[in-house]
């Protein structure tokens, strides 16, 4: 009796500490997948050790091929951190400086004045988004490259949104231009530079820059990205007319088009705690936002300090067919990687964080009204264990009581399930084939206690 009493009364204090967080995480993602809100790969690690890794759904709908841990996803804006690292590597090699002007590497854009490499990295350049420019002017039957963005900027000379360095505003244009700067400063392609200086040294064997429509090639285990059509059926963006701009922008790199796996991104995460690629001083610069304006963006990463989780480093990505996410908890060395190849995916990062830190998750339950007759049908005595029974009584509402303890109100969530407001526990009643209540189930965290009705 003491064990069950404590479970009921003290569960709100114990919360997730009394539960298996990995099992809860799996339950969370499995539930999302079953509801059509997740198709992809999830990896969670603590101090570099994988505690959860699972694939949900297909990488190829047409051939019904399943995802696995080595499936390759387009990273969308999660690509920006690799572009930023490319710039940092070149800075350490003496090929550029953060305060160099954009015009030093792309003189055609000298009319934009004093925009610096650092401002491109921090999203403080004031450059308008190239996607709007291309949307208005580009021939969608052609696939654009970074050179075409520069040509469009030269031709139309769209005004800066603000004076460079005055404020923060996220800019895909800035990161596309950074890729072009990498090419100019290194004398090689953006793809080859990342391959030689990041992917090969870190043994990220399934990571590369890839433009599927511009330069298609056979990639083992490639996860195609899907979007819903007008009937809700998942299809490739290539099959829908309203996504023709996705195809037209497929050759743009720097702000996107890095491809990788959850396994490789964990290797990347581990390297960022070391000086394998660049010095610790440079790593610190990457994760330091500007101090003279309101911004939490460093070089290719958002930096946050949260009360319950300490310092965390984040970036997400979204592009038709893909939703991507990586989060690194610096103070506690936890890593969350979620790669989805379905635009309807849900990334429940707040819940995952709480589960990782054993923080109780409060579920808001909506009470409904039942008639007195409906509630009276549940009145009785239910055996939870040998010698231990719970009494369900009625007194202007249903009450639950264990031997020697006070009564607690239970509130209807639906026609058969009730919840306690004093703690996170619920009871559900079941009927036999004749419609009579025959048993009750007590839910406590991830445990179920079946209690047949004995009186």
- Which helix or strand (DSSP H or E) is residue 329 part of? strand 322-329
Helix (H, G, I), strand (E, B) or coil at 73: strand
Between the CA of residue 126 and those of 48, 137, 316, 317, what are the distances in Å? 38, 21, 21, 21
Residues 350-362 as b/e (b if ≥16 CB within 10 A, e otherwise) read eebbbbbeeebee
Could you tell me how far CA 100 lies from the centroid of its own chain?
A: 34
Distance from C-alpha of 83 to C-alpha of 420, rounded to nearest angstrom: 51
Phi, psi angle pair for 28, to nearest 5°: -60, -50
Phi, psi angle pair for 351, to nearest 5°: -70, -40
- Is position 77 annotated as part of the catalytic site? yes
Six-digit token string for 94:
């003496």
What residues have CB less than 8 Å from 446, skipping those under 6 apart? 19, 20, 23, 24, 27
Catalytic entry in 12, 31, 71, 77: 77
Six-digit token string for 135:
């949307």
Six-digit token string for 350:
């707040």
Distance from C-alpha of 8 to C-alpha of 420, rounded to nearest angstrom: 9
The position carrying tokens 């936002």 is 289
Distance from C-alpha of 296 to C-alpha of 120, rounded to nearest angstrom: 14
Between the CA of residue 228 and those of 74, 225, 242, 320, what are the distances in Å? 18, 11, 12, 10
Could you tell me how far CA 157 lies from the centroid of its own chain?
A: 36
Six-digit token string for 139:
């021939």
* Residue 109 CB neighbours (<10 A): 19
Instruction: Catalogue the active-site residues.
Output: 77
């Amino acid at each position: 009796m003491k064990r069950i009493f404590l479970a009921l009364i003290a569960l709100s204090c114990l919360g997730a500490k009394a539960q298996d967080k990995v099992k809860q995480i799996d339950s969370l993602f499995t539930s999302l997948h079953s509801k059509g809100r997740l198709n992809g790969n999830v990896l969670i690690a603590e101090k570099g050790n994988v505690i959860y890794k699972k694939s949900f759904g297909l990488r190829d709908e047409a051939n019904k091929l399943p995802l696995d841990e080595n499936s390759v996803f387009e990273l969308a804006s999660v690509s920006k951190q690799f572009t930023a690292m490319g710039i940092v590597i070149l800075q350490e090699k003496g090929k550029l400086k953060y305060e160099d002007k954009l015009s030093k590497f792309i003189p055609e854009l000298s009319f934009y004045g004093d925009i610096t490499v650092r401002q491109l990295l921090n999203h403080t350049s004031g450059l308008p988004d190239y996607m709007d420019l291309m949307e208005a002017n580009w021939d969608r039957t052609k696939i654009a490259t970074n050179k075409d963005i520069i040509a469009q900027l030269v031709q139309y000379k769209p005004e800066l949104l603000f004076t460079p360095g005055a404020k923060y505003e996220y800019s895909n244009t800035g990161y596309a231009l950074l890729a072009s700067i990498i090419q100019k400063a290194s004398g090689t392609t953006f793809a080859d530079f990342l391959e030689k200086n990041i992917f090969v040294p870190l043994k990220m064997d399934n990571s590369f820059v890839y433009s599927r429509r511009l330069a298609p090639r056979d990639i083992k285990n490639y996860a195609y990205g899907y979007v819903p059509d007008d009937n809700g059926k998942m299809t490739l963006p290539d099959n829908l007319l309203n996504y023709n701009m996705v195809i037209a922008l497929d050759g743009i790199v720097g702000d996107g088009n890095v491809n990788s796996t959850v396994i490789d991104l964990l290797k990347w995460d581990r390297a960022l705690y070391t000086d394998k690629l660049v010095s610790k001083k440079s790593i610190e610069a990457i994760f330091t936002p500007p101090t003279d304006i309101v911004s939490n963006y460093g070089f290719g990463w958002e930096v946050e300090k949260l009360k319950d989780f300490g310092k965390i480093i984040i970036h997400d990505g979204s592009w038709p067919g893909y939703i991507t996410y990586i989060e690194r908890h610096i103070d506690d060395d936890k890593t969350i990687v979620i790669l989805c190849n379905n635009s309807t995916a849900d990334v429940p990062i707040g819940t995952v964080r709480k589960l990782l830190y054993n923080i109780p998750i409060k579920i808001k339950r909506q009470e409904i009204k039942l008639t007195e007759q409906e509630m009276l049908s549940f009145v009785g005595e239910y055996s939870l264990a040998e010698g231990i029974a719970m009494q369900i009584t009625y007194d202007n509402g249903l009450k639950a009581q264990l031997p020697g303890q006070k009564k607690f109100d239970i509130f209807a969530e639906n026609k058969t399930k009730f919840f306690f407001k004093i703690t996170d526990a619920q009871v559900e009643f079941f009927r036999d084939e004749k419609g009579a209540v025959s048993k009750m189930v007590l839910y406590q965290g991830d445990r179920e206690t079946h209690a047949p009705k004995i009186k």
